A = this chain, B = another copy of it.
Amino acid sequence: MINVRDKKLIQKFGYHLRELRTSAGFTQEQLANDADIPINQVGRIERGEINPTLSTLNALSRALNKTLPQLVDFPVSVE
């Protein structure tokens, strides 16, 4: 069972990914195709429903023409 902190983390990443995707002018379908992952997976990640793995993050970064560090460069709560 995922805890509150992790829930917030994946939600924040979801918003971040959506921002990167829309800024790049991609639809979910385009991103999914380029990253070679199911379109549903993209939607679930953007909505903060799932906790993506390293390999999925890497695939997304490649599709967005970014490095992995760039992809995960988003504000994480410190507390």
Residues of chain A touching chain B, judged by Cβ–Cβ distance below 8 Å, are 2, 6, 9-10, 13, 51-55, 57-58, 67-70, 72-73, 76
CB-CB under 8 A from A72, the residues of chain B are: 54, 57, 68-69, 72
Given known A-B contacts A69-B69, A69-B70, A70-B69, A76 and B58 have beta carbons under 8 A apart: yes
CB-CB under 8 A from A6, the residues of chain B are: 55, 58
A68 to B51 CA separation, bound complex (whole angstroms): 15
Nearest-neighbor residue (CB-CB) of A45 within chain B: B54
CB-CB under 8 A from A67, the residues of chain B are: 73, 76
- Residue among A51, A54, A57, A67 with most chain B CB within 10 A: A54
